[in-house]
Structure 1
Amino acid sequence: MTQGFAEEVVNRPLDTVEGKRVALDFAPYMKRHDGLMEEHRFVTPLDETIVGLCRPERFMRLVRRYMLFDGPHKKVARYQQVATVETLLKRTEERDAAGRRKGGVVWHTQGSGKSLTMVMLAKSIVMAHPQARIVIVTDRTDLDDQITKTFRATGQEPKRAATGENLLTLIEDMTPVVTTLIHKFRAGLNKRRVVDTSADIFVLVDESHRSQYGNLDSLHARMREVLPNACFIAFTGTPIAKKEKSTFAKFGDLVQPSYSMRDAVADKAVVPLLYEGREVVTDVDDEQIDRWFEVHTRDLSDDQRADLKRKMSRAREIEGVDSRLQSIAFDVGQHFLANFKGTGLKGQLAASSKRAAILLKKLFDEFGVVTTEVVISAPEMRESEDEVDEADDDLVRTFWRKMMERYGGEDAYNRTIVEQFKGPADPDIIIVVDKLLTGFDAPRNTVLYVARRLKEHGLLQAIARVNRVFDEDGAPDKPFGFIIDYTGVLKDLGDALASYDALQGFSPEDIASSVLAIRDEANKVPGAHAALLDVFKSVSNSFDAEAYARLLADEEIRVCQGIAESIFCGNGTGMGIPARRVGA
């Protein structure tokens, strides 16, 4: 849109019919409008925005392609979603020498609406190419379930491939929208060979960094074997690592604009993250445990300390519990109680193994401070590369059998606890190993307690579990997500970032500006406090409420106070940091 076009629109007089319609609702302002239109007026930034957005052809395109219902909620695309879809629509019109459409890699940080971008892209592709078919590919069952639900919530009806054989059947039947796990391409080809040579198949691969290189490289090849001429578009919520440069080779160039953590925080699409490293007792020296206990209960009464000490003594009797697990459970419970209990906000704890997760649950139950549930996979399933085989662990097998008896199956077990966690009632904290550390969205999830080693993508995926904006009606204030680290994993954040390329605008600052140390923020409090007190320095009697009210009647002073409060906010500690634990 040119400046001249905007000037023409804003200086164009209303015709008689338009003028009468506008006057019905805006009669008090028509005199000013008429005076403004007597001479040529300058164009304001707001004019440019409105004219640019509301040009009929653009506005109707936004309504048709970029507005949708996500369940009962109407949602409108953000600027990066519109720009990305428009870029991809143009790119897919280009073809290589073999007639295949060009794809690419979309990098939009976690929590910024990547799944809805996929929905909008699929919708726009079908509108532009009625014969198009969409295949959405993920690498985990929970993500496959999530993306299927997202598509259905927006009014589309994808068919979910139940098996490898079923996937091939859906492709043969030319099903319009299919969701599948990438592993099912290989499973299907192990039974029979199917090849669909259509160039009008669009494959949208979610979290492409995990399943398209390294040991899983053959899975991408099997997908290409079935759909040799399809257009492949990759989506990722984390940067592309140097060792994953093959992702670009497989899918094509990075799609602009990319959308980093810093971008999302600046747009308030996600909340920034506050980090605190905490130490716990790691041996069985009774004197050291007692000293640690005294330090961490200094704000409690004598009766409260005595009660907790009795509970910790009983907790030591739980078979298999070492002092580190006991200390973590105690510290997490006290931290959550002081800062989040009863607020409607919740937490997630990443344990080092299924056994550790179950023992932590037992400890929380013994202490009785917070309510918890455990979500793990079956004993024979390894949840991460670092996890030991726990298939023969009696504690794990007994726990799993009880869960299956209680809920009637793994799907119901997962679904019930996740739904409870997303609501305002119990549990306060959900304990996991690897499950729900990726692709899990729960806006009230506010604090992640890290009690296991995480690295690279796993680290960046996990910390993003608590960066979702919580803006439901009646939702409590959530200015930050909190990372409480018991392993020192985030002190190596720079090393994790060093494994990634700059990725056209991505830099360590993108994350450094989004993960802030609590102590650094707490150090801002004295200055902010002084600035706030300075606003009221003219009030001689600090007990006179009327004097404060009269002072604040001055709008200029209220503005100054507002600036101070924007720095010094949230429970009286600054930056929305929970009051009782800053610097603890």
Structure 2
Amino acid sequence: MSSYQSESQLEDALIQRLQGKGWDKVHLATEDDLWKNVQSQLGKHNKTTFSDAEFKRIRNHLEKGSPFEKAHTLRDRFHLTRDDETSFYVEFFNTEHWCRNEYQVASQIGIKGRRKNRYDVTLLVNGIPLCQIELKRRGIELKAAFDQINRYQKDSFTAAGGLFQYVQIFVISNGVNTRYYANNRHQSFAQTFTWADVDNKAINRLDAFTDLFLEKCHLSKMIAKYIVLHQSDRILMVLRSYQYYAAEKITERVQLGRQNGYIWHATGSGKTLTSFKAAQNLMEIPKVKKTLFVVDRADLDHQTVKEYNHFQPGSVDGTDDTKSLVKQFTNPNVKLIITTIQKLNNAISSTRHHEAMDALRKERVVFIFDECHRSQFGDAHKRIVDFFPAAQMFGFTGTPIFADNAIKRRTTKDLFNECLHKYVVTDAIRDENVLRFAVEYVQHMDEEAKEHRSKEFFEHPDRIATITDWVIQNHHKKSRGKQFGAIMCVGSVDALLQYYECFDAKRKAGEHDLKIASIFTYAANEEDPDADGLIPETHFPSDSTSSVSTPKRDRLVEIVNDYNALYGVQESVLDGKGFYNYYRAVANRVKSRDYKPFDPEQGVDILLVVNMFLTGFDAKTVNTLYVDKNLKYHGLIQAFSRTNRILNLEKSQGNIVCFRDLKEATDDAIALFANKNAREEIIIGSYDEHLAKFEAAAADLFAIVQTPDAVDDLQDENAQAAFVKAFRDLIRIRNVLATFSEFDETTLPVHPQDFEDFKSKYVDMAHRLSQTEEEDVPPAFDGIDFELELIRRDDINVSYIIALLTSMNLMDGEGEDGKKKAKQYRKRIFELLQSEVSLRGKRPYIEKFIDQKLPMLGPEDDIHQAFADFWSEERSQAFKTFEDEHGLKDQEFQALVSQMMFSGKQPLADDVMKALKEKPSILQRRKKVETVLEGVKDEVVPENWTVS
């Protein structure tokens, strides 16, 4: 008898516990049973019964749309014309009184799509499956359950009228570890969350998680209030536990009294979403006249404006026109306003708006300030308090201002009273909501300079040239072959201009091909004297430029001209509006790696700044910060935190490269915002420490197999699984090692060629298992994740293959020895195409080039150009074939795809319709648009068309 709890036993125990919590068990053996149950439960919920004819109309409505559109359907009411011609509005889910719904639990519902699947445990609300729970027995890696749900998404969730596409929340558990996440098939395992109590203590065990999270009212509340329908990406998002508690604490504070408060949540943990949800909650409280969500203008980019207006129509506009804000204030139908601190300050400071604004002065107005550590310590805060004496104020910050880092300013507590909820950086790292940092110090100073640390020393041309050379030499490692982007911050505008000129001169000399962009405000505050190491507020230039600022503005104009030439655009910074547009354009380009597919020609490799972009700016694919400026306390933590957003397995940490001695300042900042013993939790070990871990992992691998060929002799599945786990550990450590400047693969205890050969065996094993039916996978491999993302070699790409082809082509004309070497090169190329994950999608095209085009080329021909021409021809043909198949106009479709590649956002349905030669009927329109968009993602602009 097994000594551990089986999956079926875990399932039985869960259902019993749910029944004890008031979930009614129901047996749904067939698809027909499932729909009959929906008919019955919807009737019960709506206090009526639906005839078969009436339910047919309801079912037709429920079956329409994508998962995102069905999320809207769930929250809307359906106008039903009943059999007797009367009108009835069908409610699918009560979002206002979320406990007033019907609750059922079912197990092993079988649905047949591309293949038959049985779902472990399904929670149905009003008959509709809204929460799906996938279980694995104890000891199985949790990601196996995540992968299982992904297979359901592909195989069978579209079957049965797409009823399972209504699932809002997935839960995965092996009894000991439990996570939840929103129904978004494009997210990674990193976007699965652990629920916790209000003190951030994780609730991992399934029984405790069931009691708290799966309690009927709580689950309903999460779906009703804390699932976010992200309009631009057309995906569902769900708040994490600390976000939930923060929003709830603010709501409770407003309902029970007039006191202020602030939320301390670690930078990178999603404060903006939390604060916005809190604002949405407050607008539902009748006694609150207006709720204002206040951000800095630097954070209110075009995409943010669009999102907020999707969440709450008319709540925000992206203009600098204060009149529009005053109109929102005076419109009684507008309860939620999103504005900038700058516009709010103008509205209450200008006497011409006083008459219009005066009616609200003594009303119950609630302010929520995002990033309050940098927006609430000037005169603007005092003006707001004086103008709205009855206002209630809440702030969100990742780095509060305490006495230690106040630097002649008031503290966050002085302004907002007590902290209502705390989630510090150590919490966020523990929960894998942000990454740790790898801090590397590169000192370029002699002993005398260490004593003086003068501006002249730090900005000496020789020093700047040396650092520039270091960045050029090491950026490939830090960014994993430019897969990630970087920010470089320096001490003054003068230093920035020197760095920019140095990078530019070396690019023109052919020493690098990095795309460098830069921005600084020529207003006085950007000239950071490094007096206190804190990042000042960003003041965008006005239309009037002082004579002192003109030379710096003119230098920025030159930089912008280079930017325009590089990207084929026409930005201008000659006035305030133009500067702001350039700021937003740069921000979008730095973030462009976040969007798939990414065009390397449109991205920024390194953004060069003084203070801008060091706080408030989020880009998941920025992984490195080069620092040549003094930073301390909240300025340091904010700047470092530009690099530590969670993305995928390849992004293992945020890389910080310091060209100044910031060790003491880093330790002080960690002690202030976490605790004095938290350094090892926040900063990963040194290169030598990770090298020691690699050596230990290599010894474990060699204890199983001495050589790559020995892998073939492992007949026992347990031994094979042991090899997989041992080599996976080696890959994980090597992934971190490879980002250090000291990294040299030739010094590792596993020879580079042996590592590649081991990797080939590893990938072959993963490929064989991927072709095996799930029920035939050997038990030893049950739930093992091969983490294939980690074994991509950044230097083995299309360019590398072309270099090998060039060498092979040259050797082919050098007699028998040349032909023998060429044959070896050909074998090597095909081995790489077989084993290299990043080349899989490109493999058919590269093989076609080798077989059909290469034999026609002579030793003197330019292989690189020939391949570029071939690639362009194949891509054009793919475009043409797609256009012909779907009836698309060439120019309109090309423009649509280009915009999609740059913005990373799905085009609007109307834009797709304009590209169609023939307009489909109203009934066919949605399906046609979805077919085209899916095809664009799968065929026209997939990653295999990127030549890298």
Specify the TM-score bucket, using the shorter chain as the normaliser: 0.7 to 0.9
Using the TM superposition, give the Cα deviation of residue 64 of structure 1 relative to its aligned residue in structure 2, in angstroms: 1.8
Look up the equivalent residue of 1:402 and give its one-letter code.
E
Secondary structure of 1:54's match? Answer: coil
Which residue matches 2:386?
Answer: 225
Alpha carbons of 1:221 and 1:284: their partners in 2 closer, same or farther (altered >3 Å)? closer
Taking the aligned partners of 1:163 and 1:13, their CA distance within structure 2 comes to 56
SS, match of residue 614 in structure 2 = coil
**Aligned-residue offset at 1:363:** 1.4
The one of 448, 460, 463 equivalent to 2:640 is 463
Q: Is the 8 A contact 2:704 2:722 kept in 1?
A: no
1:507 counterpart SS class = coil
1:491 is displaced (CA, Å) by: 3.4
Write the mapping of 1:24-103 to structure 2, written as runs, cut at 5 A: 24-25=109-110, 45-50=205-210, 52-70=212-230, 71-72=232-233, 73-95=235-257, 101-103=258-260
1:400 aligns with 2:556: yes
Give the 3-state SS of the residue equivalent to 1:407 in structure 2. coil
What fraction of aligned residue pairs are identical, expressed as a percent?
20
Give the whole-Å Cα distance in 2 for the aligned partners of 1:419 and 1:553.
49
Query: Distance in 2 between the 1:534 and 1:240 partners?
Result: 48
Counterpart mapping for 1:276-355 below 5 A? 276-280=440-444, 322-340=461-479, 342-355=481-494
Whichever residue aligns with residue 462 of structure 2, its letter is: S
Does 2:298 match 1:142? yes
- Write out per-residue CA displacement over residues 322-365 of structure 1, whole angstroms, 9 at most, x where no aligned residue: 11111111111111034426342111100222232222122112
1:129-168 → structure 2 map (5 Å cutoff): 129=286, 132-138=289-295, 140-145=296-301, 148-152=305-309, 154=311, 156-160=313-317, 162=320, 167-168=325-326
1:513-524 paired onto structure 2 within 5 Å: 513-519=681-687, 522-524=688-690
* Contact kept? 1:282, 1:324, Cα under 8 Å: no
Measure the CA separation in 2 of the matches of 1:362 and 1:545: 54
Task: Give, in whole Å, the separation in 2 of the partners of 1:390 and 1:580.
Answer: 49
SS in 1 for 2:110: helix
Residues 581 and 359 of structure 1, relative CA distance in 2, 3 Å threshold: farther
Larger CA deviation: 458-467 vs 544-553: 544-553
Give, in whole Å, the separation in 2 of the partners of 1:523 and 1:534: 17
* One-letter amino acid of the counterpart of residue 223, structure 1: I
> Residue 371 of structure 1 contacts residue 429 of structure 1 at CA under 8 Å; is this kept in 2?
yes
Equivalent position of 2:722 in the other structure: 557
**Does the CA contact (< 8 Å) of 2:528 and 2:610 recur in 1?**
no
1:526 to 684, 689, 692: 692
Whether 1:173 aligns to 2:331 is yes
For this pair of structures, how many residues does the alignment match?
Answer: 513
Cα RMSD (Å):
3.9
Most deviating of 72-81 and 336-345? 336-345
- SS for the counterpart of 1:342 is coil
SS of 2:283 mapped into structure 1 = helix
Larger radius of gyration: 2
- Partner SS for 2:684: strand
**Structure 2 counterpart of 1:251:** 416
Q: Secondary structure at the match of 1:105?
A: strand
2:341 aligned with 1:182, yes or no?
yes
Is this contact kept in 2: 1:539–1:547, CA < 8 A? no
CA distance in 2, matches of 1:134, 1:260: 27
Deviation of residue 395 (structure 1)? 6.2
Tell me the amino acid that sits aligned with residue 469 of structure 2: F
Matches of 1:17 and 1:365 in 2, distance apart?
A: 67
Letter of the 1:93 partner, please give it. Q
1:238 to 395, 399, 415: 399
**Separation in 2 of the partners of 1:555 and 1:144?**
53
For 1:552 and 1:4, locate their aligned partners in 2 and report how far apart those are by CA, in whole Å: 34
Alpha-carbon distance in structure 1 between the residues aligned to 2:446 and 2:475: 21
SS at the partner of 1:349? strand
Matched residues in 2 for 1:275 and 1:30: separation? Answer: 45
Which of 649, 657, 662 in structure 2 is aligned with 1:489? 662
- Tell me what 1:317 maps to: none
8 Å CA contact 1:529–1:568 kept in 2: the answer is no
Aligned partners of 2:498, 2:471: CA distance in 1, in Å? 14
Asked if 2 retains the 8 angstrom alpha-carbon contact of 1:528 and 1:567, the reply is no
Q: Look up the match of 2:579.
A: 410
Q: CA deviation at 1:221?
A: 1.9
Say if 2:743 is the partner of 1:580. Answer: yes
Change in 2 beyond 3 A, CA 1:141/1:539? closer
**Alignment partner of 1:110 out of 267, 288, 312:** 267
Structure 1 residues 384 and 230: alpha-carbon distance in aligned structure 2, compared to 1, 3 A threshold: farther
Alpha-carbon displacement from aligned partner over 1:58-108 (angstroms, at most 9, x marks no partner): 22211121111332132110011111112222121122xxxxx23311011
Q: Distance in 2 between matches of 1:24 and 1:380?
A: 64
Distance 1:30 1:187 in 2: 57
TM-score (norm 1): 0.76
Check conservation: 1:365, 1:371, Cα contact below 8 A: no
Q: 1:327 to 1:123 in 2, by over 3 A?
A: same
Q: Which amino acid aligns with 1:327?
A: T
Q: How many Å apart are 1:132 and its aligned residue?
A: 4.3
Please list the CA deviations of residues 92-125 of structure 1 after superposition, one character each: whole Å capped at 9, or x if unmatched.
1122xxxxx2331101111110000012111222
How far the C-alpha of 1:279 sits from its partner, in A, is 1.6
Shift of 1:450: 0.1
Q: Contact (CA 8 Å) 1:135, 1:179: kept in 2 or not?
A: yes
Question: Structure 1 stretch 8-17 or stretch 124-133: which is displaced more?
Answer: 8-17
In structure 1, the residue matched to 2:199 is none
User: TM-score with structure 2 length normalisation?
Assistant: 0.49
SS of residue paired to 1:159: coil
How far the C-alpha of 1:186 sits from its partner, in A, is 4.6
